[in-house]
Amino acid sequence: MMRQYELVDRVRRYNPATNEALLNRAFVYAMKAHGAQKRASGDPYFSHPLEVAAILTDLKLDDATIAAALLHDTIEDTTATRGQIDKQFGKDIGALVEGLTKLKKLDLVSKRAEQAENLRKLLLAIADDVRVLLVKLADRLHNMRTLQWVPAEKRNRIAEETLDIYAPLAGRIGMHDMREELEDLSFRQLSPEAYQSIETRLANLRKTNKSIIKEIEDELTEELAKKKIKAKVKGREKRPYSIWKKMERKAVGFEQLSDIFGFRVIVPTADDCYRAVGIVHTKWAFVPGRFKDYISTPKQNDYRSIHTTVFGPGKQRVELQIRTQEMNDIAEYGIAAHALYKDNVGASMDSLAQESSAYAWLRRTIEMLAEGSSPEEFLEHTKLELFHDQVFCFTPKGRLIALPRKATPIDFAYAVHTDIGNNAFGCKINGKIAPLVTELQTGDEVEIIRGEGQHPPAAWESLVVTGKARAAIRRSTRAAVRAQYLGLGRKMIERAFARAAKPWSEERLNKSLSRLARASVEDVFAAVGRGEMKADDVVKAVHPDWREERKPVNKAPRSEGWFGLSRVASLKFRIPGFRGSVTGKPEDMSAPIPIRGINGDLPVRFAPEGGAVPGDRIVGILTPGEGITIYPIHSPALKEFDDEPARWLDVRWDIDDVTTQRFPARLLLRAKNQPGTLAQVAQVIGEHGGNIDNVHMDRPSQDFTQITIDLGVYDLKHLNAIIEQLRAKPVVSSVERYNG
Ligand code: MN
Among 649, 607, 669, 605, CA closest to 632: 607
Query: How many residues are present in the chain?
Result: 740
Q: How many A from CA of 143 to the centre of ligand 1?
A: 7
Per-10-residue mean pLDDT, the chain, length 740? 90 89 95 91 92 91 92 91 93 89 62 57 67 90 93 86 81 81 94 90 80 84 90 87 80 70 90 91 82 83 85 78 88 65 44 50 54 43 47 76 86 92 91 90 85 80 85 83 86 86 86 87 89 87 77 44 36 36 49 76 84 90 85 88 84 78 91 86 90 87 88 91 91 85
Identify whether the C-beta of residue 602 lies closer than 8 Å to the C-beta of residue 651: no
| Integer Cα distance of 352 and 562 in angstroms | 88
| CATH class label, 388-465 | alpha beta
Among 79, 87, 57, 86, CA closest to 69: 57
One DSSP character per residue, 4-70 reads: HHHHHHHHHHH-TT--HHHHHHHHHHHHHHHTT-B-TTSSBTTHHHHHHHHHHHHTT--HHHHHHHH
Residues 6+ apart with CB under 8 A from 679: none
Identify whether the C-beta of residue 467 lies closer than 8 Å to the C-beta of residue 435: no
| Integer Cα distance of 445 and 393 in angstroms | 6
Instruction: Kindly state the helix (H) or strand (E) to which residue 272 belongs, with its residue range.
Output: helix 270-283
Identify whether the C-beta of residue 266 lies closer than 8 Å to the C-beta of residue 289: no
- Per-residue burial over 271-297, b if 16 or more Cβ lie within 10 Å, else e, is ebbbbbbebbeeebebbeeeeebbbee
Q: How many A from CA of 50 to the centre of ligand 1?
A: 10
Among 112, 266, 123, 255, CA closest to 197: 255
**How many CA atoms lie within 13 Å of 243's alpha carbon, on the beta-carbon side?**
26
* Confidence (pLDDT) at 47: 94
Q: Give the β-pairing of 704-713 and 593-595.
A: unpaired
Among 695, 686, 688, 682, CA closest to 731: 682
Strands (E), 474-565: none
Three-state SS for 96-115 is HHHHHHHHHCCCCCCCHHHH
Angle (CA) 691 694 699, round 5°: 125
Residue 174 φ/ψ, nearest 5 degrees = 85, 10
| Integer Cα distance of 705 and 674 in angstroms | 9
Residue 324 φ/ψ, nearest 5 degrees = -90, 170
In which region does residue 453 sit, left (phi positive, over 0), alpha (psi from -120 to 50) or beta (all else)?
left
| Integer Cα distance of 97 and 70 in angstroms | 9
Identify whether the C-beta of residue 283 lies closer than 8 Å to the C-beta of residue 223: yes
| Integer Cα distance of 435 and 424 in angstroms | 11
Domain regions of the chain by residue span: 4-191, 193-341, 388-465, 467-544, 550-657, 663-738
What is the reported pTM?
Answer: 0.50
| Beta bridge partner(s), residue 667 | 709, 737
Q: Which of 9, 20, 43, 77 is catalytic?
A: 77
Q: Give yes or no: 76 in active site.
A: yes
| Integer Cα distance of 359 and 36 in angstroms | 39
Angle (CA) 61 66 67, round 5°: 145
Q: How many A from CA of 332 to the centre of ligand 1?
A: 23
Residues 6+ apart with CB under 8 A from 236: 261, 262, 263, 264
Q: How many A from CA of 370 to the centre of ligand 1?
A: 26
| Residue 207: other Cβ atoms inside 10 A | 8
Identify whether the C-beta of residue 70 lies closer than 8 Å to the C-beta of residue 22: no
Q: How many A from CA of 121 to the centre of ligand 1?
A: 18
Torsion of CA 495, 499, 503, 507, to 10 degrees: -30
What single DSSP character describes residue 194?
H
Q: How many A from CA of 686 to the centre of ligand 1?
A: 66
| Integer Cα distance of 412 and 402 in angstroms | 9
* Confidence (pLDDT) at 576: 36
Q: Which of 58, 76, 326, 601 is catalytic?
A: 76
| Beta bridge partner(s), residue 671 | 705, 732
Q: How many A from CA of 150 to the centre of ligand 1?
A: 13
Domain 4-191, CATH 3.40.640.10 — does that match?
Answer: no
Q: How many A from CA of 66 to the centre of ligand 1?
A: 13
Identify whether the C-beta of residue 693 lies closer than 8 Å to the C-beta of residue 608: no
Identify whether the C-beta of residue 198 lies closer than 8 Å to the C-beta of residue 254: yes
One-letter amino acid for residue 634 of the chain = H
Q: Give the β-pairing of 651-653 and 691-698.
A: unpaired
| Beta bridge partner(s), residue 692 | 711
Q: Give the β-pairing of 432-434 and 261-267.
A: unpaired
Strands (E), 54-146: none
| Integer Cα distance of 159 and 154 in angstroms | 9
Q: Is 415 helix (H, G, I), strand (E, B) or coil?
A: helix
**How do residues 622-647 score in pLDDT, each as one tens digit?**
888 778 899 998 888 888 888 888 78
Count, in order, helices (H) and strands (E) of the chain.
29, 20
Q: How many A from CA of 74 to the centre of ligand 1?
A: 9
| Integer Cα distance of 553 and 555 in angstroms | 6
Q: How many A from CA of 407 to the centre of ligand 1?
A: 37
| Residue 98: other Cβ atoms inside 10 A | 21
Q: How many A from CA of 138 to the centre of ligand 1?
A: 9
| Residue 111: other Cβ atoms inside 10 A | 10
Q: How many A from CA of 65 to the centre of ligand 1?
A: 14
| Residue 424: other Cβ atoms inside 10 A | 22
Q: How many A from CA of 371 to the centre of ligand 1?
A: 30
What would you report as the CA-atom Rg of the chain, rounded to the nearest whole angstrom?
Answer: 39
Residue 688 φ/ψ, nearest 5 degrees = -100, 20
**How do residues 293-305 score in pLDDT, each as one tens digit?**
888 888 766 788 9
* Confidence (pLDDT) at 335: 65
Angle (CA) 410 413 419, round 5°: 115
Among 393, 491, 494, CA closest to 446: 393
Q: Give the β-pairing of 691-698 and 663-672.
A: unpaired
Angle (CA) 540 541 543, round 5°: 60
Among 464, 480, 492, 493, CA closest to 600: 480
Q: How many A from CA of 73 to the centre of ligand 1?
A: 5
Superfamily of domain 663-738: ACT domain (3.30.70.260)
| Integer Cα distance of 632 and 739 in angstroms | 7
CATH of domain 193-341: 3.30.460.10
Q: Give yes or no: 77 in active site.
A: yes
Omega into 576 within 30° of 0, i.e. cis? yes
